[in-house]
Amino acid sequence: MVQSGDIVTLKAGHYRLRAQLAGSSYGTVWRAERDGHAPVAIKLVNREQMARAEPALQARWSECSAREIAFLSALAPWDARHIVRLLDHGSHDGLPAMALELLDGDLAAHMSAQAAAGRCIGLAQALAWIAQVNAALAKVHQHGWRYLDLKPANLLLDAATGSLKLADFGTNRSLADAGAHSYAGTASWQAPEQFFPALPDAPLGYLTDARADYFALGALFYYLVSGGATLRYSSTCGEAFRAHGREGALKLRAASLPILGEDEAARFLACAADEGDAGAALRLLRLLLARRPQDRPPHALAISRLVAAAQGTRLRRAA
């Protein structure tokens, strides 16, 4: 079992684990120190949980970690402004491991703290963060991947700059592979095509593309503006998955489950009323949350223009 004080040796040196920062069935993240360097976040595969899984699932966990390392390694330093930076990688106990820049907690924790203090972040900040996440997704898509797990827990806050950075790329799926794939992501943040299988009786039943990430961006936008509220649609999907797993989608009818209720749209407008163009912000929200992928914005530039309109600004044309 991994514990505080353990040494993890990667390509660039030795790291002593100090405190666990986060953990899930798939992995653990530790604050770690290396002599003469700033503290880092060490991400390890959760070996204890992995040992209890089926062999096929064990291989998938290792593959996801290796995929994340490969993607982050491919980014040039200037590409990573809104993507967590990979500092070192290698293996620990025979499994992939990586050292990442240490940031200041995730967006979910930040929003909970804001709510507890009775504060809202406001439309201007929400739009600024949506623009940053859109830029991060654009980089993921440019490198040939769809992200498929956008949620507040996978967005890290850089307190020094007040900006967000996208993290956790193990669910990335190749955009070049247009075929159906296995279930991936988190039910309470997924697009309809990611939660409701196109091929219900097949293990590889989900047909997604980059626009699935844009739906999750819309769910995130609603969450930010409304002070941490989750869409009723998303909560219903999440509850169905927790109760029944993948079978939960079959117990719900996709077509009869509203995406954005009129009361939710009214709440969004009320929260957005004091800054920017609330009407343009609602239009952006509705487009991102369109039920059909083809009705969502086609690419990051289209989203950038919609964000600029909601901010009351206009994108400058490149010279």
CB-CB contact of 87 with 69 (8 Å): no
- d(C-alpha 238, C-alpha 287), whole Å: 22
The pTM of this model reads: 0.93
Is the model more confident about 50 or about 316? 50
Q: Where are the domains of the chain?
A: 7-101, 107-311
- Count of other CB atoms within 10 angstroms of residue 262: 8
Q: Is 85 exposed, middle or buried (0-12, 13-18, 19+ CB in 10 A)?
A: middle
Q: For residue 157, what are the β-bridge partners?
A: 164
Query: Does the domain spanning 7-101 belong to CATH 3.30.200.20?
Result: yes
Angle at 172 between CA 96 and CA 19, to 5 degrees: 45
Among 185, 172, 164, 184, smallest CA distance to 143 is for 172
Comparing CA positions, the residue from 73, 26, 72 lying closest to residue 47 is 26
- Residue 267, pLDDT > 90, answer yes
Question: For residues 237 and 186, what is the distance between their CA atoms, to the nearest angstrom?
Answer: 10
Give the mean model confidence (pLDDT) for residues 39-49.
90
Q: What is the mean pLDDT of the chain?
A: 91
319 pLDDT above the threshold of 50: no
pLDDT exceeds 70 at position 314: no
Longest alpha-carbon distance in the chain:
58
User: Hey, which CATH number is domain 107-311, 1.10.510.10, 1.10.10.10, 3.30.565.10, 2.40.110.20?
Assistant: 1.10.510.10
What is residue 246's predicted lDDT score, i.e. its pLDDT? 85
Give pLDDT tens digits for 137-182.
999 999 999 999 999 999 999 999 999 999 999 888 889 998 888 8
